[in-house]
Amino acid sequence: QVQLVESGEGLVQAGGSLRLSCAASGRSFSNYVMGWFRQAPGKEREFVASISWDGDSTYYADSVKDRFTISRDNAKNSLYLQMNSLKPEDTAVYYCAASRRANSSRRKSVYDYDYWGQGTQVTVSS
């Protein structure tokens, strides 16, 4: 079983940047597909990005493509989300998640993931 802890919450103006981190416990981090999701008040949790075991393949929601970058450092059991050109509609609680399913960068369903972090608030002002 893995535990996930996000960090990097903050308030940023539109057009700004923010970097989120997710620290994972356990010895099998490299065998989890990892993902980022976000949830705004009153809305369903939505997929943001995912990354394969070795970080050689990534997948992004259309709404964040070319603005966000997901990465991982398996030696440090860490997952990252670099967010650039932030927009007010990016405001949400962001969650990192780990999937025990077969290796693929295209894990966009919340039901593909087994472990979740506590979430970190990102607020983008206009």
| Percent of the chain residues past pLDDT 90, beyond the cut | 89
Cα 15 from Cα 84, distance rounded (Å): 7
Q: What is the pLDDT of residue 27?
A: 80
Helices (H) and strands (E) in the chain, counts: 0, 11
Cα 36 from Cα 117, distance rounded (Å): 10
Please state, rounded to an integer, the average pLDDT across all residues of the chain. 95
Residues 6+ apart with CB under 8 A from 123: 10, 11, 12, 91
> Does the pLDDT value for residue 1 go beyond 90?
no
Q: What is the pLDDT of residue 6?
A: 94
Phi, psi values for residue 31, rounded to 5°: -105, 15
Mean pLDDT for the stretch of residues 96-102: 94
Mean pLDDT for the stretch of residues 56-82: 97
Q: What is the pLDDT of residue 26?
A: 81
> Does the pLDDT value for residue 103 go beyond 90?
no
